[in-house]
């Protein structure tokens, strides 16, 4: 980053983070002062004499640390403290806010707490201690306080400042501190266990790096917090300490990877490097002799600042991928982290606040991380919903378009079909009824007055018209149409004394269906019958209707011979037959004429 | 004329009410009735209203009814005649191609139909034939009746024995629908010509009974009875 080209926004962010850090530092210092307020009536003991095994003593100021000898399984020290002469009233107590890991206490030569030989059985990182003194054990004169302290070799023994004074006020201070440190640690442990369960489940379901990172970070944080929550180690102290230390380091790596994935950064080299670095540090700690553990611990943690800074740089340069709100939240957290570091300079080393912050930090970090992730998840769901909605809208629009297209197509086909039928009916009326009516009118205009002829013509018109109307009956089969024709013509045949044989062998399966086809068949048969009785002078006509043919045979003079009106009729019949995909066959049988309307069997739908 | 027993063989001439809105056609029928020795004109109506009035006032034996009347359908008149307290047969005046209407008229109670274009002599004869129960049946009406029966086949409505068509009656209908004439049907089924007429008469009667049953159930549903 070139500082010269710092943009206004970057400068603003810098100012913000510095301001926030300052505010947080002030708040923490104030909080620390409040938390570590001296208990009322209490006397603070800070001067002690550290005595070696051989009995020689040297003055020290509390807090004091005693490292373990190389190879020793614990560090142990004896301290002598003078309680100045005070006018004590009521029951008194000794309050140890901070020590590690076990204490032995004697006042005026009387044992209050006994420290067993050997390594302590507990690990004490955050628990205070309170000892009620026996009645009248503190006299009006100066009193000698003897303290034995033992600690595990990894971090040595530690003794912080000591309070002596009225039991009631010291007990209150002890209670407050206990809940702020050990109580809080247990609560945080429980919360982290719950979070771990949730995130591990999420990682199992989603199987993404981001979820895996979060799950690993939360499990590490839970392990880390267990160290603070339970005084009695479930494993050998060395191993338990190593696990605790490894947990916080793995947590750093997992949290870093999670946060980078959150801003969609895939810094593979950094991530692998960070992990390798941390594993190296863990191995170094594992092989370090116990008495050098603390030194290695501090050294490795100092080294860890380097990858942490690299992470912050990478993360910060990609923070625009987060929403403004999340960036603000992260900034507050970073400011808080800086503030915790800075405030350590102003707060008593033994302050409860340091412990609180140390314990709380992973939880805060995880809470923030999961909040940011939930925010992104919700955003993703909203995006998905919006996308789905758009998709649905598009599908609906396309469907509507298609429907319109189909409707238009159907409408066009319908209109075409109607036009076709209209054309057919017009042609039919024009050729049939129209022609006959024109003939009749012309006959009348030219002075004709043969009523019988006129009546016959009008009858023929009606008959023609009824044929047309018949053919429009959508429900009727061809057989029914033919039967109607036969019923209509029956009186004519009767009047002319012509016998008509009518045989139906099957319903005609015409190649084409519809009113037009029916009408064409009707006209053909009508024409053939009319020919037979009008022109051929037949005495006997037979009609045979079957699935693939209609046959009209007569015993008349036949069609072959001198040209007559039937010629035109035959051509018209052939044309009609053609229109329905059939053909006309005319034969002279010797005894008369046989006209057949023939068609190929329609393919039966299977 | 088909060989039906002349049930209405009483000496008194049958009175005929003509219901027809076209004056020319009405005059044609009036002339035909006046020319027939066994028929007398009971009255002439041009509307449903007028027809109802004359029907109950003159109590005719026969009503010749056109279906398309200016103030309603002739079916109303046919129904009224069919359910009248005295015996009154109605005959539909039909034009070509309206068999659909003829069928509903028969179901409403008409005993037959008469072509509008029939010659005067034919009118009187057709009325007498119809009275004798020998009204012709067109192939299309036969086909429609069969189609209706086929539709009803799966679940025949609750009906009495007398309105269900017999197998033979169905066969007759089938042949009528194919265009065969009574003589041919008789030949094809090996029965007497008169029997064919009986069958057709029974088919008509059953159609009317059916329509009556339907009308009653409809009326019951409508709260009229």
The H-or-E segment that residue A587 falls in is strand A582-588
Report residue B19's pLDDT band, with 50, 70 and 90 as the boundaries: very high
Higher pLDDT, B91 or A371: B91
Please tell me if residue B121 touches chain A, with a CB cutoff of 8 Å: no
State the nearest Cα–Cα gap between B95 and chain A, in angstroms.
9
Taking only the tens place, the pLDDT of each residue in B119-144 is 767 788 888 887 777 677 888 888 88
- The pLDDT, as a whole number, for residue A563 is 45
Is the CB of B144 less than 8 angstroms away from the CB of A459? no
Report residue A551's pLDDT band, with 50, 70 and 90 as the boundaries: very high
Nearest to A480 by CA among B161, B143, B148, B204: B143
Report residue A345's pLDDT band, with 50, 70 and 90 as the boundaries: low
Report residue B12's pLDDT band, with 50, 70 and 90 as the boundaries: low
Is the CB of B96 less than 8 angstroms away from the CB of A469? yes
Interface test with A, best of B148, B174, B178, B188 (most A CBs within 10 A): B178
Q: Does pLDDT of A567 surpass 70?
A: no
Report residue B65's pLDDT band, with 50, 70 and 90 as the boundaries: very high
Higher pLDDT, A281 or A567: A281
Average pLDDT over residues B64-89: 89
- The pLDDT, as a whole number, for residue B11 is 47
Report residue A534's pLDDT band, with 50, 70 and 90 as the boundaries: confident
Of the ranges A197-211, A270-284, B31-45, B157-171, which one carries the lowest mean pLDDT score? B157-171
A533 DSSP assignment: I
Report residue B57's pLDDT band, with 50, 70 and 90 as the boundaries: very high
Taking only the tens place, the pLDDT of each residue in A442-495 is 888 888 788 888 888 887 788 778 778 777 776 678 888 888 888 878 878 888
Q: Does pLDDT of A73 surpass 90?
A: no
Q: Does pLDDT of A269 surpass 50?
A: yes
Average pLDDT over residues A268-285: 90
User: What percentage of chain A carries pLDDT values higher than 90?
Assistant: 5
- Residues in Cβ contact with B138 at an 8 Å cutoff, skipping those fewer than 6 apart: A484, A487, B99, B102, B176
Contact between B91 and B33 (Cβ < 8 Å)? no
Q: Does pLDDT of B51 surpass 90?
A: yes
Q: Does pLDDT of A564 surpass 50?
A: no
Please tell me if residue B177 touches chain A, with a CB cutoff of 8 Å: yes
State the nearest Cα–Cα gap between B205 and chain A, in angstroms.
22
Burial level of A328, CB count in 10 A (0-12/13-18/19+)?
middle
Interface test with A, best of B174, B179, B185 (most A CBs within 10 A): B179
- The pLDDT, as a whole number, for residue B52 is 93
A472 chain-B contacts, CB cut-off 8 A: 97
Of the ranges A47-61, A167-181, A428-442, A559-573, which one carries the lowest mean pLDDT score? A559-573
Please tell me if residue B138 touches chain A, with a CB cutoff of 8 Å: yes
Average pLDDT over residues A392-420: 88
- The pLDDT, as a whole number, for residue A324 is 67
Average pLDDT over residues B15-38: 89
Higher pLDDT, A71 or A139: A71
- Residues in Cβ contact with B42 at an 8 Å cutoff, skipping those fewer than 6 apart: B15, B16, B17, B54, B58, B60, B61
B139 chain-A contacts, CB cut-off 8 A: 480, 483-484, 486-487
Contact between A512 and A563 (Cβ < 8 Å)? no
Is the CB of B177 less than 8 angstroms away from the CB of A469? no
Among all residues of chain A, which has the CA nearest to that of B143? A480
State the nearest Cα–Cα gap between A462 and chain B, in angstroms.
8
Check the CA dihedral B187-B189-B195-B196 and report its sign. Answer: negative
| Dist CA A362 CA A253 (whole Å) | 12
Is the CB of B177 less than 8 angstroms away from the CB of A480? yes
Higher pLDDT, A481 or A210: A481
| Two structure tokens written together for A156 | 């040595």
Is the CB of A473 less than 8 angstroms away from the CB of B140? yes
Q: Does pLDDT of B49 surpass 90?
A: yes
State the nearest Cα–Cα gap between A380 and chain B, in angstroms.
59
Task: Tell me what the pLDDT averaged over chain A comes to.
Answer: 81
- The pLDDT, as a whole number, for residue B56 is 93
Is the CB of A504 less than 8 angstroms away from the CB of B178? yes
| Dist CA A240 CA A188 (whole Å) | 19
- Residues in Cβ contact with B99 at an 8 Å cutoff, skipping those fewer than 6 apart: B138, B140, B141, B144
Is the CB of B140 less than 8 angstroms away from the CB of A479? no
DSSP A414-445: HHHHHHHHHHHHHHHHIIIIIHHHHHHHHHHH
Among all residues of chain B, which has the CA nearest to that of A469? B97
Report residue A134's pLDDT band, with 50, 70 and 90 as the boundaries: confident
Of the ranges A288-297, A321-330, A420-429, A457-466, which one carries the lowest mean pLDDT score? A321-330
Report residue A310's pLDDT band, with 50, 70 and 90 as the boundaries: confident
User: What percentage of chain A carries pLDDT values higher than 70?
Assistant: 91
Task: Tell me what the pLDDT averaged over chain B comes to.
Answer: 79
Taking only the tens place, the pLDDT of each residue in A151-162 is 888 888 888 888
Cβ-nearest to B139 among A472, A475, A487: A487
Is the CB of A486 less than 8 angstroms away from the CB of B184? no
Helix (H, G, I), strand (E, B) or coil at A603: coil
Higher pLDDT, A154 or A558: A154
Please tell me if residue B139 touches chain A, with a CB cutoff of 8 Å: yes
- In the A/B pair of chains, how many CB contacts fall below 8 A? 54
Report residue B161's pLDDT band, with 50, 70 and 90 as the boundaries: low
Q: Does pLDDT of A543 surpass 90?
A: yes
Distances (CA, A) of B132 to A291, B3, B6, B111, B135: 135, 9, 6, 10, 8
Report residue B3's pLDDT band, with 50, 70 and 90 as the boundaries: very low
**CB-based burial, A329-342: b 16+ in 10 Å, e otherwise:** bbbbbbbbbbbbeb
B179 chain-A contacts, CB cut-off 8 A: 479, 482-487, 502, 504
A465 chain-B contacts, CB cut-off 8 A: 96
């Amino acid at each position: 980053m070139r500082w010269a080209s710092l943009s206004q926004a970057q400068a603003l962010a810098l100012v913000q983070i510095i301001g926030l850090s300052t505010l947080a530092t002030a708040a923490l210092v104030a909080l620390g002062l409040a938390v570590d307020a001296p208990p009322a009536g209490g006397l603070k003991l800070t001067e002690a004499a550290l005595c070696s095994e051989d009995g020689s003593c040297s003055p020290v100021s509390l807090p004091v640390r005693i490292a373990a000898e190389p190879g020793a399984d614990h560090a142990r020290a004896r301290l002598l403290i003078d309680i100045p002469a005070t006018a004590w009233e009521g029951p008194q107590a000794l309050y140890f806010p901070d020590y590690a890991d076990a204490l032995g206490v004697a006042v005026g030569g009387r044992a209050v707490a006994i420290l067993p030989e050997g390594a302590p059985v507990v690990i004490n990182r955050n628990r205070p201690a309170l000892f009620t003194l026996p009645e009248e054990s503190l006299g009006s004169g100066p009193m000698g306080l003897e303290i034995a302290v033992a600690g595990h070799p990894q971090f040595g023994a530690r003794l912080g400042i000591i309070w002596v004074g009225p039991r009631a006020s010291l007990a209150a201070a002890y209670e407050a501190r206990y809940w702020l440190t050990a109580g809080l640690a247990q609560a945080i442990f429980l919360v982290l266990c719950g979070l771990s369960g949730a995130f591990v489940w999420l990682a199992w379901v989603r199987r993404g790096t981001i979820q895996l990172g979060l799950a690993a970070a939360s499990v590490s944080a839970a392990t880390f917090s267990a160290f603070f929550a339970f005084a009695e180690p479930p494993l050998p102290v060395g191993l338990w300490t190593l696990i605790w230390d490894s947990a916080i380091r793995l947590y750093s790596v997992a949290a870093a990877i999670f946060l980078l994935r959150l801003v969609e950064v895939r810094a593979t080299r950094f991530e692998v490097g960070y992990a390798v670095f941390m594993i190296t540090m863990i191995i170094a700690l594992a092989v370090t002799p116990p008495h050098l553990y603390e030194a290695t611990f501090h050294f490795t943690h100092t080294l860890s600042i380097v990858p942490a800074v690299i992470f912050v740089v990478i993360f910060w340069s990609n923070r625009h991928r987060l929403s403004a709100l999340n960036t603000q939240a992260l900034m507050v957290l970073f400011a808080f982290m800086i503030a915790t570091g800075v405030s350590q300079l102003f707060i008593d080393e033994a302050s409860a606040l340091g412990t609180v912050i140390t314990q709380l930090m992973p939880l805060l970090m995880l809470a923030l991380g999961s909040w940011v992730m939930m925010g992104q998840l919700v955003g993703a769901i909203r995006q998905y919903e919006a996308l789905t909605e758009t998709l649905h809208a598009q599908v609906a629009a396309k469907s509507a378009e298609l429907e319109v297209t189909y409707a238009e197509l159907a409408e066009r086909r319908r209109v075409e079909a109607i036009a076709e039928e209209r054309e057919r009916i017009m042609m039919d009326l024009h050729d049939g009824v129209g022609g006959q009516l024109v003939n009749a009118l012309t006959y009348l205009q030219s002075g004709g007055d043969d009523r019988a002829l006129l009546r016959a013509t009008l009858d023929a018109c009606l008959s023609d018209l009824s044929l047309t109307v018949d053919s429009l009956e959508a429900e009727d089969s061809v057989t029914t149409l033919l039967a109607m024709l036969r019923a209509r013509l029956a009186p004519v045949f009767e009047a002319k004394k012509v016998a008509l044989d009518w045989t139906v062998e099957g319903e005609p399966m015409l190649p084409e269906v519809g009113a037009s086809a029916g009408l064409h068949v009707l006209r053909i048969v009508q024409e053939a019958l009319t020919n037979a009785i009008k022109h051929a002078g037949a005495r006997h006509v037979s009609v045979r209707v079957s699935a693939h043919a209609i046959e009209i045979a007569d015993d008349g003079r036949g069609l072959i011979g001198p040209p007559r009106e039937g010629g035109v009729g035959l051509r018209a019949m052939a044309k009609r037959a053609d229109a329905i995909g059939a053909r006309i066959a005319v034969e002279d049988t010797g005894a008369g004429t046989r006209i057949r309307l023939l068609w190929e069997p329609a393919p039966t739908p299977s | 004329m088909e060989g039906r027993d002349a049930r209405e063989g009483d000496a008194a001439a049958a009175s005929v009410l003509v219901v027809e809105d076209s004056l020319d056609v009405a005059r044609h029928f009036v002339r035909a009735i006046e020319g027939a020795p066994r028929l007398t004109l009971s009255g002439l109506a041009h509307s449903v209203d007028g027809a109802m009035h004359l029907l109950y006032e003159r109590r005719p034996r026969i009503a010749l009814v056109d279906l398309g009347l200016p103030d309603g359908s002739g079916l109303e008149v046919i129904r009224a005649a069919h359910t009248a307290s005295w015996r009154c047969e109605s005959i539909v005046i039909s034009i070509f191609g309206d068999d659909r209407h003829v069928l509903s008229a028969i179901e409403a109670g008409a005993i037959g139909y008469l072509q509008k274009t029939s010659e005067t002599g034919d009118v009187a004869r057709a009325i007498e034939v119809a009275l004798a129960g020998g009204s012709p049946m067109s192939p299309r009406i036969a086909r429609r009746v069969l189609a209706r029966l086929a539709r009803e086949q799966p679940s025949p409505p609750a009906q009495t024995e007398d309105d269900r068509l017999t197998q033979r009656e169905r066969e007759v209908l089938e042949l009528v629908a194919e265009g065969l004439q009574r003589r041919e049907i008789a030949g094809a089924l090996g029965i007497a010509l008169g029997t064919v007429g009986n069958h057709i008469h029974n088919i008509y009667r059953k159609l009317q009974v059916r329509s009556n049953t339907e009308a009653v159930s409809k009326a019951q549903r409508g709260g009229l009875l």
